[in-house]
Amino acid sequence: MLTHQAAVDRQGRQTLEVLEELGIVPRLVFAPEHGFDAVAQAEEAVSSVAGDATRGFSVDVISLYGKTKEDLTPSSEKLAEIDVLLIDLADVGSRYYTYVWTALLAARAAEAAKVHTVVLDRPNPISGDPNLVEGSPQLAEFLSFVGLEALPIRHSLTVGEILAHFFELAGSALGPEGALSVVPVRGWERLRSAEAWRRPFVPPSPNMPTLETALVYPGACLIEGTNLSEGRGTTTPFQLVGAPFLDGRELARRLRETGLLGAWVRPVSFRPSFEKHAGAVCNGVMLHVTNPSMFRPVATYLSLVAIARQLAPEAFAFRDTPYEFESDRPAFDLLTGSDKARAAILQGAPAEDVVALVAPVESRWKSLVLEAEVRLGKCVAA
């Protein structure tokens, strides 16, 4: 089973516990980035763990997020030990969030090993509304572990829908007799976010504490590609953005002037306890989502980055260190899907021009969302 502690049922019980009550104990547990317990920070290699009863189960946990790219895929030796790969991961609806790519790599490796994959699907917490799809898919040379396949930044799909799409593109047989089957979500209202589920939001990773964090994340993760703090080391990561060299009041004023919809922006100061600018007072802004159906996270945070660079051109910088196992492309390019936005920002382009390079999405990608449930019907688990 590929899962983590955020995969829970309506009563808050982890899927492994539910399976145990049904008399099913997986032979192996695979875990994504951050580890099964979601303790590790972003980009932190996680070690595999032998069976430990203190976790509540004694199954070996095999990390699929180690020190190399090869660690991202289950080994043929481990897959030889199993008959079925069961996947249950809580995702947050953004291309950068690596869980869906771990699921895709694992399912592809299972197919090569002639092991059937079953996905226990979950709703997209920031909604499956095709009208909210945002952020152009990556160019081929910018594919990476924050986007193994071309996909909009905010995709409005579920893990099961994404795997079904790429398996169908590859010509793989779908359904119980094929390579992939899916237990679909029942009763999900696609146009609504997790606030309509009448259950608590369970953090799937250390810096994804709330639904509001997930709503800003498709744009806020872009900050990882800069020397601005994205609020890691605070209680409101990704909603906070700043640096010691910024003027928060001016940044907030100019961001409001872009015509920001669906969110408040206010100047703030904060002191991260770790990560960028740890221990230093950062000046910047905090975003509060007031209307999720109007808010456009990618456009908002692209504008924020462009304005921040205009305000402090000498101090602002794009990240130039390795990012998610890639060292030949800047992190910002991997996140935006090309080098166009970074080049425009460095040239001092207006925020609206930068947004125009990334945020719009061709109508065919919205059609992908509209067709998702039909495609999923081809691989419903027996």
CB contact set of 23 (below 8 Å; sequence gap of 6+): none
Q: What is the per-residue pLDDT for 55? A: 59
Please, what's the b/e burial string for 9-38 (b: 16 or more CB within 10 A of its CB; e: otherwise)? eeeeebbbeebeeeeeebebbbbbbbbbeb
Q: What is the per-residue pLDDT for 311? A: 98
Neighbours of 43 (CB within 10 A): 14
Sign of the CA dihedral with 79 first, then 84, 88, and 94 last: positive
Neighbours of 374 (CB within 10 A): 8
Q: Tell me the C-alpha distance between 222 and 333, whole Å.
A: 9
The answer to whether residues 110 and 117 touch, using CB atoms and an 8 Å cutoff, is: yes
As given in the structure block, the two tokens for residue 333 are: 């390019």
Q: What is the per-residue pLDDT for 53? A: 54
If the chain, 382 residues long, is cut into consecutive pieces of 10 residues, what is the mean pLDDT of each piece? 96 93 93 94 90 67 95 96 97 97 98 97 97 97 97 97 96 94 92 92 96 98 98 97 98 96 97 97 98 97 98 98 96 98 98 96 91 85 69
**Amino acid at site 6:** A
Q: What is the per-residue pLDDT for 225? A: 98
Phi-psi label, residue 152: left if phi above 0, alpha if psi -120 to 50, beta otherwise: beta
Cite the DSSP H helix spans in the chain.
15-21, 76-79, 99-112, 159-169, 211-220, 248-256, 297-311, 331-336, 340-346, 351-358, 363-370, 372-376
β pairing state of 282-289 and 263-270: antiparallel
**Amino acid at site 332:** F
Q: Tell me the C-alpha distance between 151 and 357, whole Å.
A: 16
Dihedral pair phi/psi, residue 268, rounded to 5°? -145, 165
Q: What is the per-residue pLDDT for 350? A: 97
pLDDT (tens digit per residue) in 327-336: 999 999 999 9
Closest CA to 291 of 197, 215, 201: 215
**Side-chain-side CA neighbours of residue 274 (13 Å):** 6
As given in the structure block, the two tokens for residue 194 are: 């997790």
Closest CA to 2 of 22, 38, 26, 34: 26
Q: What is the per-residue pLDDT for 378? A: 83
Domains belonging to the chain, first-starting first, are 2-192+365-379 (3.40.50.12170), 211-358 (3.90.1150.140)
As given in the structure block, the two tokens for residue 98 are: 């690596």
Please, what's the b/e burial string for 199-211 (b: 16 or more CB within 10 A of its CB; e: otherwise)? eebbbbbbbbbbb
Q: What is the per-residue pLDDT for 58? A: 75
Q: What is the per-residue pLDDT for 377? A: 82
Q: Tell me the C-alpha distance between 351 and 254, whole Å.
A: 10
Cite the DSSP H helix spans in 143-273.
159-169, 211-220, 248-256
Q: What is the per-residue pLDDT for 60? A: 87
Closest CA to 111 of 154, 53, 174: 174
pLDDT (tens digit per residue) in 243-296: 999 999 999 999 999 999 999 999 999 999 999 999 999 999 999 999 999 999
**Amino acid at site 323:** Y
329, exposed or middle or buried, with CB in 10 Å at 0-12, 13-18, 19+? middle
Rg (CA), the chain: 20
The answer to whether residues 300 and 262 touch, using CB atoms and an 8 Å cutoff, is: no
β pairing state of 240-243 and 282-289: antiparallel
Residue position matching structure tokens 């009550």: 21
Q: Tell me the C-alpha distance between 279 and 172, whole Å.
A: 51
Q: Tell me the C-alpha distance between 248 and 67, whole Å.
A: 37
